[in-house]
């Protein structure tokens, strides 16, 4: 960076937009980055786009939203371009630099805040958050504990139940248990949960590895699919209800978190809201926002969403997913780094609540900076 370029951006807040990663949700993270890079307020923020390849290599990426747009025929990806990012190695400074394959080295300036739009393991699960906290770098979103708990559906359910929130009946199976006790587990599903049941990797998102199982004969295949993603598998009762989502936004200086209007997932041409329905097949589902629920139901869902957010100790943002059945609301998941493309439910719910995408990005960064200053 030239001295002139450095001086021209001195009054801007430097944001490292961190995306890609080692998880199976790598491409969704890239698509989210495209949305953020396109919409972020360039009059306030200077952007340093940092990609993480599937092999875990940190590279300086192009500040080009079009490169990472979600395209079903060519999903975006971070590739090794020969650059290497060097983060601060202590809490005494916030300098970030890059080295290149030709041997050159460049200081990129001081980091003010990191926006880690990483999904799944090695990004949304507390690992990156711990790395950033270790060198005292402010970042958007939840800290280590909430990120780890939100990533693991087993522990999410434990925390939600402890907070008095209703969740779907189910139990967790470890890989070694399935290897030696498959018949007993199959019988347990039939006696305790019934069919249909959902088989989910405990630590994966975007419905990767999730199967809807309608009969005992299909359980083994569903377990194999889930075990390819994780060795802890959650088997839950299928809930016959509407899928309602609330976006939660952290507040500043000890104020309570805020909840958006509700959105609804209406599944038309898919068994459930799986990866393909979420990202590749627009005809499979409808995303309705605001959802057609009563004012009383909205108030209840907003309160439950904030309670779930607080139960995990979440910060910054989360999307809380519910089922609404004859008995009321049931918490399905808490996503501490939800899908954040412009058409994703989290920003859509805030758009309908009066907070447009660009302003939402600004608010998340401001909340992260405020949280750091108040500690």
Q: What is the pLDDT of residue 157?
A: 96
131 is in an annotated binding site: no
206 is in an annotated binding site: yes
Give 9's pLDDT tier (boundaries 50, 70, 90). low
Cβ-Cβ contacts under 8 Å for 87 (sequence gap 6 or more): 58, 96, 131, 135, 137
pLDDT at 271 > cutoff 80: no
pLDDT at 50 > cutoff 90: yes
Q: What is the pLDDT of residue 5?
A: 40
Which of 25, 124, 315, 363 is catalytic? The answer is: 25
Which of 23, 24, 142, 206 is catalytic? The answer is: 206
Q: What is the pLDDT of residue 270?
A: 52
* Residue pLDDT, tens place only, 12-45: 999 999 999 999 889 999 999 999 999 999 999 9
How many angstroms separate the most distant Cα atoms in the chain?
Answer: 70
Q: In whole numbers, what is the pLDDT of the chain averaged over residues?
A: 91
* Residue pLDDT, tens place only, 73-90: 778 999 999 999 999 988
pLDDT at 238 > cutoff 80: yes
Give 8's pLDDT tier (boundaries 50, 70, 90). very low
Which of 229, 264, 344, 363 is catalytic? The answer is: 344
* Whether 245 is catalytic: no
* Whether 90 is catalytic: no
Section 326-340 average pLDDT? 95
Cβ-Cβ contacts under 8 Å for 298 (sequence gap 6 or more): 261, 262
What domains are there in the chain, each with its CATH number? 13-139 (3.40.50.20), 151-167+240-373 (3.30.470.20), 170-237 (3.30.1490.20)
* Whether 344 is catalytic: yes
282 is in an annotated binding site: no
Section 171-184 average pLDDT? 97
pTM for the model stands at 0.89
Give 4's pLDDT tier (boundaries 50, 70, 90). very low
110 is in an annotated binding site: no
**Inter-axis angle of helices 357-374 and 345-352, nearest 10:** 100
DSSP-derived 3-state class of residue 269: coil
């Amino acid at each position: 960076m030239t001295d002139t370029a450095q001086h021209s951006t001195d009054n801007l807040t430097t944001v490292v937009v961190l995306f890609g990663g080692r998880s199976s949700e790598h491409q969704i993270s890239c698509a989210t980055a495209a949305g953020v890079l396109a919409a972020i307020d360039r009059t306030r923020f200077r952007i340093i786009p940092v990609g993480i390849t599937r092999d875990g290599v940190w590279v300086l990426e192009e500040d080009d939203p079009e490169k990472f747009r979600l395209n079903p025929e060519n999903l975006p990806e971070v590739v090794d371009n020969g650059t290497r990012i060097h983060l601060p190695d202590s809490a005494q400074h916030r300098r970030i630099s890059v080295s290149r394959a030709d041997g050159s080295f460049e200081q990129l300036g001081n980091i003010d805040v990191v926006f880690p739009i990483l999904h799944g393991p090695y990004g949304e699960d507390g690992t990156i958050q711990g790395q950033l906290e270790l060198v005292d770098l402010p970042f958007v979103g939840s800290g280590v504990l909430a990120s780890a708990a939100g990533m693991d559906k087993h522990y999410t359910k434990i925390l939600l139940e402890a907070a008095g929130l209703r969740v779907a009946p189910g139990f967790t199976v470890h890989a070694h248990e399935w290897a030696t006790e498959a018949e007993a587990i199959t019988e347990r599903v039939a006696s305790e949960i019934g069919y249909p049941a959902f088989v989910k990797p405990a630590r994966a998102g975007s419905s990767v590895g999730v199967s809807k199982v309608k009969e005992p004969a299909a359980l083994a295949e569903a377990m194999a699919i889930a075990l390819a993603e994780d060795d802890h598998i959650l088997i839950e009762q299928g809930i016959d209800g509407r899928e309602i989502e609330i976006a939660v936004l952290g507040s500043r200086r000890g104020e309570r978190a805020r909840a958006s209007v509700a959105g609804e997932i209406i599944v038309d041409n898919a068994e459930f809201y799986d990866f393909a329905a979420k990202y590749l097949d627009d005809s499979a589902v409808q995303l309705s926002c605001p959802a057609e629920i009563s004012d009383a139901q909205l108030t209840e869902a907003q309160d439950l969403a904030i309670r779930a957010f607080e139960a995990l100790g979440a910060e910054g943002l989360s999307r809380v997913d519910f089922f609404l059945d004859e008995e009321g609301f049931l918490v399905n998941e808490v996503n501490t780094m939800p899908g954040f493309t412009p058409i994703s439910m989290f920003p859509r719910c805030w758009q309908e609540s009066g907070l447009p995408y660009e302003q939402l990005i600004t608010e998340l960064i401001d909340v992260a900076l405020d949280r750091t200053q108040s500690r």
